[in-house]
Amino acid sequence: MTQAVLLDIKNLSVGFRGGQDQFVSILRNINLTVHAGETIGIVGESGSGKSSLAFAAMAYFKSGLEAQSGQVVFNGQDLLQENDSAVQKIRGGAIALIPQNSGQALTPTMRIGEQISEVLQLHSRYRPEQFRDRTIALLGQVRLPEPGILIDRYPHELSGGQQQRVAIAMALAGEPELMFLDEPTTGLDVTTQAHILKLLKDICDERKTAMVYVSHDLGAVAQVCKRIVVMYAGQIVLDGSARDVLQSPAHPYPRALLKSITRLSEATIPQALEGRPPMPGIVPAGCAFADRCMAAQDRCRTEQPRLVKLANGQTTRCFYPEEPKLNAARGTTRPAELDPDSFASQSDTLLAIENLSLTYARPSLMDQIMGRPPQGVPTVDDITLGLARGETLGLVGESGSGKSSILKALAGLLPFADGKLIFDGTSLSRRGTEDRDRAHLKMIQLVFQNPDDSLNPRQTIAQILAQPLNLYFDLTTAQVRQRSEELLEEVRLGPRYLERLPSQLSGGEKQRIAIARAFAADPQVVLCDEVTSALDVSVQAAVLELLRNLQRKRGTAFVFVSHDLAVVRALSDRVAVLYQGRLCEIGTSQAVYQAPFHPYTEALVHSVLEPDPDFSPRVLADDIVELGPPAQGCAFQRRCPKHIGEICNTTFPPWQKSRDGHSIRCHHSLAALADGFTDEEQPYA
């Protein structure tokens, strides 16, 4: 069973020279062996050094970085010692990289075919007249449609998923023995991601190429890799088979990480992993994970643990790898009905959205002369939703679903093309914030996705929190300061944060400030726009818990938008599913996540990746790029696996309602949708 050793990384340390000639380490003492045909996942969060490892293994160092010590031996040669031309022969050929963001990684001025032919020219034995045919064959292998046409296109003419496939084809062109993949599915839609992963798995099975898959997403890694390596603070902390690492990891970090991931099968907020990863370059006295570890002992803080091979096959960097006997219950269970402690016992509607329609089209000259709204298919159409006091309504969908646009319209940042918005009985203006009065603006607050962007980099935290306080309330300076401190307390940050600048905070801390800022206005509705999507996995659970606690305390209602179905399920009472700006399904979160499903919801649910080696996503919808919603008929008509016929293309599907407020918009009856499963039973009850 021992295959040949392809790549042997020995004691590699990589870093850069910081101020005062100190060496700041990004990677410390990395030892990794890759055998032929092996699939390894390298898992870690931001700051773990995983991407740097992939690049270092190809002997590539960004300007400023250098290898302080160690070897990278490939097929007997130490790549770090070889000269440029020897390394160039190997890169792109025997070792290939599939980059993270292929849209940026493909040269904009060269056609797709030319870029792939370049690899053929450098690394293969094909003759120039054979390049074109070979390229078309490669594009076909990565399941791109019409490869003969695509070959002459430029990168920006392709969708994200297509660009990623091109990058895979480019890697395959060199007939690699080893492929490095740097987060290849980040930024892609869930359904597209499932397709790409399936492709990768098939390729590896077929060609027996060794693969090193770098990612923060344990679910993705579980699909493709037989072996998992976990990194933390620039070091390898665990190395074992995928099954072992995912089911019984012998290190507290992956253990806590797995517990903190939201899972679709459990409608609860998982247990947060407190703290944050250390800044790169800081070499702690003891174990790097000690300050976040539940089982840390004195030895952990003073002595650095070394890698030790255990009897069960895993290699771990921990003094106490066994799971401690405290069996903390996993997360706080959330009953399906609304929690009686919250204020939601009265189900009066706080916010009612009726037939909301939005468009990004600007009125043409003709429209302006005739005084009519812009023509064309609206980006978002016919949205009717209600939000009760204290309730959390989740909006789920992928890119193009319009979910963020709806939030912006609710906040007043986007004017409505049509429809009504009624807050507590009062109709709010369609035109936007300029037309609403301050009392209403105060009641509805918005938290954005990216905390780097939503906080003014030139203001201190105190100034940032003072903005809403001074705008909505009449307070003295002392009172403002006191309120700010109270708010910080509520989001569990100390008062010393007041004098800091956003650039000095981590992503999780910044998001807490953004949440504190929203709650400073004492709102009744908080709109959350993908608030956890930009955060590290281990930090997401803490933010979700924070939101839940704030809701319990203040009785605020949330409209929670996310593409992550598990996260939405964990937090929401009711969920609405959107596709291309139209509603597909709406109901309680329990009802939506089980049959009967709208065909799109079904595709979504089955694309979600669980960190479980026995789990396989099902690819249900075709991987077609939508350029916009169709003018007539069901929004999902082009991709639906349950497409009936012409009726789906021409008539808007009716709402099929069930007793407890669960509605699905489809031409199939509820009964027909309930039997949607072919041979498997319902995965999530």
Judged by CB under 8 A, the chain residues 448 through 477 that form the site for other proteins are 448-450, 453-460, 467-468, 471
Verify binding: residue 67, other proteins, rule CB under 8 A: no
Tell me whether residue 60 or residue 652 sits nearer to other proteins (CB atom): 60
Other CB atoms within 10 Å distance of the CB of residue 659: 5
The only residue of 11, 69, 88, 650 in contact with other proteins, by rule CB under 8 A: 88
**Interface with other proteins in residues 469-528 (CB under 8 A):** 471, 492-494, 496, 499-501, 504-506, 508-509, 517, 521
Which DSSP state fits 495?
G
Verify binding: residue 411, other proteins, rule CB under 8 A: yes
Sign of CA dihedral 520, 525, 529, 533: positive
- Using DSSP bridges, classify how beta strands 65-74 and 178-182 pair: parallel, antiparallel or unpaired: unpaired
Min separation Cβ 522 and other proteins, Å: 13
Which DSSP state fits 269?
B
Min separation Cβ 630 and other proteins, Å: 15
Verify binding: residue 640, other proteins, rule CB under 8 A: no
Verify binding: residue 66, other proteins, rule CB under 8 A: no
> Which residues have CB under 8 Å from 564's CB, separation 6+?
262, 532, 533
Other CB atoms within 10 Å distance of the CB of residue 118: 16
Min separation Cβ 585 and other proteins, Å: 26
Tell me whether residue 132 or residue 408 sits nearer to other proteins (CB atom): 408
Tell me whether residue 44 or residue 174 sits nearer to other proteins (CB atom): 174
Other CB atoms within 10 Å distance of the CB of residue 441: 18
Tell me whether residue 122 or residue 644 sits nearer to other proteins (CB atom): 122
Min separation Cβ 642 and other proteins, Å: 28
Min separation Cβ 491 and other proteins, Å: 9
Tell me whether residue 3 or residue 456 sits nearer to other proteins (CB atom): 456
- Using DSSP bridges, classify how beta strands 418-423 and 349-358 pair: parallel, antiparallel or unpaired: antiparallel
Tell me whether residue 39 or residue 51 sits nearer to other proteins (CB atom): 51
**Interface with other proteins in residues 109-148 (CB under 8 A):** 109-110, 118-119, 122-123
**Interface with other proteins in residues 142-181 (CB under 8 A):** 154, 156-157, 170, 174
214, 51 in Cβ contact below 8 A? yes
269: left (phi over 0), alpha (psi -120 to 50) or beta: beta
**Comparing C-alpha atoms, which of 293, 389, 282, 387 is closest to residue 346?**
389
**Comparing C-alpha atoms, which of 439, 408, 451 is closest to residue 559?**
408
Tell me whether residue 156 or residue 325 sits nearer to other proteins (CB atom): 156
| Contact range with other proteins by CB under 8 A, out of 8-16, 89-97, 189-197, 323-331 | 89-97
421, 406 in Cβ contact below 8 A? no
The only residue of 412, 599, 629, 633 in contact with other proteins, by rule CB under 8 A: 412
Size of the site for other proteins (CB under 8 A): 79
> Which residues have CB under 8 Å from 365's CB, separation 6+?
none
Min separation Cβ 657 and other proteins, Å: 34
Query: How many angstroms separate the CA atoms of 187 and 159, rounded?
Result: 12
Min separation Cβ 671 and other proteins, Å: 39
Query: How many angstroms separate the CA atoms of 141 and 150, rounded?
Result: 13
Tokens found for residue 345: 């016992």
- Bridge partner list, 583: 578
| Contact range with other proteins by CB under 8 A, out of 67-75, 298-306, 350-358, 410-418 | 410-418
Min separation Cβ 498 and other proteins, Å: 9
Query: How many angstroms separate the CA atoms of 47 and 216, rounded?
Result: 11
Tell me whether residue 196 or residue 518 sits nearer to other proteins (CB atom): 518
Which DSSP state fits 235?
E
95, 156 in Cβ contact below 8 A? no
The only residue of 78, 82, 266, 274 in contact with other proteins, by rule CB under 8 A: 274
Verify binding: residue 413, other proteins, rule CB under 8 A: yes
Verify binding: residue 675, other proteins, rule CB under 8 A: no
Verify binding: residue 564, other proteins, rule CB under 8 A: no
> Which residues have CB under 8 Å from 555's CB, separation 6+?
342, 343, 344, 389, 390
The only residue of 79, 105, 380, 515 in contact with other proteins, by rule CB under 8 A: 105
